[in-house]
Structure 1
Amino acid sequence: MGVSTSSPEKGPEKSGIAVVTVDFPPVNALPVDGWFALADAVRAAGRDPQVRCVVLAAQGRGFNAGVDIKEIQAQGPSALAGANRGCFEAFAAVYECAVPVVAAVQGFCLGGGIGLVGNADVIVASEDATFGLPELDRGALGAATHLSRLVPQHLMRALYYTSRTATAAELHAHGSVWRVVPREELRSAALELAGEIAAKDGELLRLAKAAINGIDPVDVRRSYRFEQGFTYEANAIGVGDRVRDTFGKEKNERDEREGAQA
Structure 2
Amino acid sequence: MGVSTSSPEKGISVVTVDFPPVNALPVRGWFELADALRAAGRDAEVRCVVLAAEGRGFNAGVDIKEIQAQGGGGLLGANRGCADAFAAVYECEVPVVAEVHGFCLGGGIGLVGNADAIVASEDATFGLPELDRGALGAATHLARLVPQHLMRALYYTSRTATAAELHRHGSVWRVVPRGELRAAVLELARSIASKDGQLIRLAKAAINGIDPVDVRRSYRFEQGFTFEANLAGVGDRVRDTFGKDREGGGTE
Residue in structure 2 matched with residue 176 of structure 1 by the alignment: 171
Q: 1:26 aligns with which of 4, 12, 21?
A: 21
Distance 1:32 1:247 in 2: 19
Residue in structure 2 matched with residue 189 of structure 1 by the alignment: 184
Q: 1:241 aligns with which of 233, 236, 242?
A: 236
Residue in structure 2 matched with residue 62 of structure 1 by the alignment: 57
Q: 1:73 aligns with which of 43, 47, 68?
A: 68
Amino acid at match of 1:33: R
Q: 1:108 aligns with which of 103, 107, 114?
A: 103
Give the CA deviation at 1:206. Answer: 0.3
Distance 1:43 1:67 in 2: 20
Distance 2:133 2:174 in 1: 30
Describe the superposition over 1:106-135 as per-residue Cα deviations: whole angstroms up to 9, x where unpaired: 000000000000000000000000000000
Distance 1:185 1:60 in 2: 16
Moved over 2 A (4+): none
Give the CA deviation at 1:15. Answer: 1.2
Distance 1:196 1:33 in 2: 33
Greater helix proportion: 1
Give the CA deviation at 1:145. Answer: 0.1
Residue in structure 2 matched with residue 129 of structure 1 by the alignment: 124
Instruction: Please tell me whether residue 44 in structure 1 is matched to residue 46 in structure 2.
Output: no
Gaps of 5+ in 2: 248-252
Residue in structure 2 matched with residue 96 of structure 1 by the alignment: 91
Q: Number of paired residues?
A: 247
Residue in structure 2 matched with residue 53 of structure 1 by the alignment: 48
Instruction: Please tell me whether residue 156 in structure 1 is matched to residue 151 in structure 2.
Output: yes
Give the CA deviation at 1:61. Answer: 1.1
For CA contacts below 8 A with separation 6 or more, give which structure has more relative contact order.
Answer: 2
Residue in structure 2 matched with residue 138 of structure 1 by the alignment: 133
Distance 1:200 1:15 in 2: 12
Instruction: Please tell me whether residue 210 in structure 1 is matched to residue 205 in structure 2.
Output: yes
SS in 1 for 2:241: helix
Residue in structure 2 matched with residue 167 of structure 1 by the alignment: 162
Distance 2:6 2:74 in 1: 29
Distance 2:105 2:98 in 1: 14
Residue in structure 1 matched with residue 220 of structure 2 by the alignment: 225
Distance 1:153 1:213 in 2: 20
Describe the superposition over 1:17-74 as per-residue Cα deviations: whole angstroms up to 9, x where unpaired: 0000000000000000000000000000000000000000000110000000000001
SS in 2 for 1:218: coil
Distance 1:81 1:151 in 2: 28
Amino acid at match of 2:38: R
RMSD of aligned Cα (Å): 0.8
TM (norm. structure 1) is 0.93
TM (norm. structure 2) is 0.97
Residue in structure 1 matched with residue 4 of structure 2 by the alignment: 4
Amino acid at match of 2:161: A
Percentage of matched positions with identical amino acids: 86
Gaps of 5+ in 1: 9-13, 256-262
Describe the superposition over 1:146-170 as per-residue Cα deviations: whole angstroms up to 9, x where unpaired: 0000000000000000000000000
Instruction: Determine which structure has more spread, i.e. the larger CA radius of gyration.
Output: 1
Distance 1:192 1:37 in 2: 27
Describe the superposition over 1:207-258 as per-residue Cα deviations: whole angstroms up to 9, x where unpaired: 0000000000000000000000000000001000000001233xx2x78xxx
Distance 1:4 1:229 in 2: 31
